[in-house]
Structure formats: C-alpha cells, structure tokens
Amino acid sequence: MNAPTPALVARPERLRLVGQKRKVLALMHQRLMFGLLVYGFVISVIVIRLVYLAAFGDHAGRKVGAISLTPERGDIVDRDGQALARTIDAWTIGLQPSKVIGDKLDLARKLAELMPEKDAAQYHAMLVSKRSFYYLRRRASPKVVAAINALGEPGLALEREPDRLYPQTSLAAHVLGWTDVDGNGTAGIERAFNDRLADPAQRGTPLQLSISSRIQQALEHELLAAKQEFSAIGAAGIIMDIHTGELLAMTSLPQLNPNVAGQGADEARFNRATLGVYELGSTFKPFTVAMAMDLGHIKSMGQMYNCPQQLHVAGRTINDTHPYGRACSVAEIMKESSNIGTAQIAQQIGPRTKRLSSRRWASCRRSKSS
C-alpha cells in the first residue's frame, strides 16, 4: 500500500490559522455592529432633542418661529410699476432670561439706555422672571441691533423676520393702509387684499393699483398748501378718470407714515375720503338749479327771482349770509349761494316733481349704462 501524499495531509498549523481568522472576523463583525448601534443611538438622541426643543424649548409658542415660516407679502405698485409697498428683512430683539450669564441689574440699566421705552426696573423684572422669552423690540433699527449685539450677552436673541416697508413714506398712505407687527394687513389695500398679498403663489406678481404716484403727489401737495393757508383741521381729495371710473389719486390729511402707523394719532389714521361723513349743504344748490333748468322752469341764468332779506316758509325763517334784499338773477343766486333764492326755485319745482325728476335721472343713467 502506498503512503499518502504529503500535500493531502492536514497540518495542525494550518487548522489553527483558519480558526484564528474566523475568530478575528467574528470579533470585527461584533465591533462593527456595536458601532452601528452606538451611531444609531446618537442619531436618535439628536432627533429626539430637536423635536423636544421645537415643541417645548425656548422657541415653543413664540411668534418668531411662526413669522419666519410665514411667506413674505407681495409688493404693491402704482399704475406705472413704481413700488409703493415692499417686504424686507428686519431685526427682532428678544430676551431669554434663563440664558443670561452676566449681572442682571447692570444689563437692565444698559437695556434702558438703548431702548428707553421701558425703565431699568421693568427690564430687571423681566430678567429675573421665570418666563422663557420676551420680545424687547420688533422692527429694530440696525443701530440698536449693533449696540445690543456688542453687549455679548447670550440671553439676548437677535432674529430676522419679514418687515413691511413703504418707500414713498406718507404718499398714498391711507390708500395703502398698513400692517401689524405680525405682518397682517389692518387697513386700506393691505387689509382688503390681505389674502392675495400673503399668497405664496402670487408672491412674484405685484398687486398693481390704478393710483398714479405723480398725480397723488400733486394732489397731496395742493391739499397740504390749502390746509395750511386756511388753518383747516383736515382735508381730503379724490381724482378719478371719468371715462373708466379708475381712481388716480386719493388722499386724506393730516398725513400718516405707514412705516410707523402705530405712532400716529387717531386723527391721522382716519381716512376722511372714505370714512368721513359730511353734510353736503350748498353743494345741493347746483343740482336744484339744474333740475329746474331740465324741467323748463329756468329759461336762462338771467331769470330773476325775488330775494328779500328773509324768507318765511312753513313757520321757518330762511336767511342768507350775504342777503340781496332785492330781485336777483339765477347767476347771482349761484354766485352768492343764496339760500333764499334756491328755496324759491325748489318751491317752484315742487316735491312731486322732484320725485319724478329723480326717477327720470335714474332712468337716464340706466339707459346710458345699458
């Protein structure tokens, strides 16, 4: 019988090497799995921490987070494309009392110097309170932001948020309206088209008005000059295109800066052109004369009426500021806005004829519109 070939004989050294290799691979596999478990645990802890901070951290319930997620409002432009309202990034200054590391009394004094709307005692009360967050100032100026940042206090939070800017300041302020600190329209076009301006799908398309900045500026200039000349408490004016019905300008005085609308007086925020109620008074007189001419009672502006010092009608006495005390023409009645002369013309028309004439005018307007 032949002896076995040496190459086919199992060697103990080779078997030991194979066994050691398998052990090393098993150990490496165990270490790799352990490392993956540790990595997965760390990632899970980070995710859980982020979720916790979002739900219960210092930013929970704060409007800053909501504002940062709110889409910017669309622009408002005039009929020529000139910007009347735009959205820019502004600064918000907040306070997180639990993160303040410096001397709170000293910090309160510095805050009172930089933002004097509150005194040092009020700031100190905020610093020692248990609340997680305070707003110190919205829409802060770059100068104040730089000064707050220079304090180096981690408890003072600086954040960016959208802010509404009206580059023409008071121009067409009552037409445009303004927004509150949260960016919602509270008056004028900003309120009427709030959904349209806040719609992300419409952000790239500005809202174009029929207002012309040039005509608006001319109207405001003339009204302001007249208000100052006659020492009036207010003024209002509207310019309309009679062919299209478009408003080319509308203003109300006193003027208002919508960039700081909250600092304006109630009288300045009141739009006299749309909200004011006025007694028309003598403006009815041309309508009365026109009605009498239309009905054939007045043949010419030279037609004469008796205009005494006083006129007694139905137990009442009608007077004139500048009484004629004689016969006067229709032209003179219109010139001096004579109450006595106009009353006689109205008597000549009569109440029944007035109603019929009003219906006739309404019928004419309907026929023209159709």
Q: What are the distances in angstroms from CA 250 to CA 5, 217, 218, 237, 303?
A: 113, 10, 11, 6, 39
Q: CB–CB of 301/330 below 8 Å?
A: yes
Rounded-to-integer distance, Cα 211 and Cα 249, Å: 5
Rounded-to-integer distance, Cα 73 and Cα 162, Å: 9
Q: Looking at this protein, which amino acid is placed at residue 154?
A: P
List Cβ neighbours of 310 (8 Å cut-off, separation of 6 or more): 317, 318, 319, 323, 340
Angle at 38 between CA 33 and CA 42, to 5 degrees: 145
Q: For residue 337, indicate whether it is catalytic.
A: no
- 3-state class percentages of the chain: helix first, strand second, coil last, to nearest 5: 50, 20, 35
Pairing label, strands 207-208, 76-77 = parallel
Q: What are the distances in angstroms from CA 132 to CA 108, 109, 128, 192?
A: 17, 21, 11, 36
The catalytic residue among 44, 141, 282, 363 is: 282
Angle at 33 between CA 30 and CA 38, to 5 degrees: 125
Active-site residue set: 282
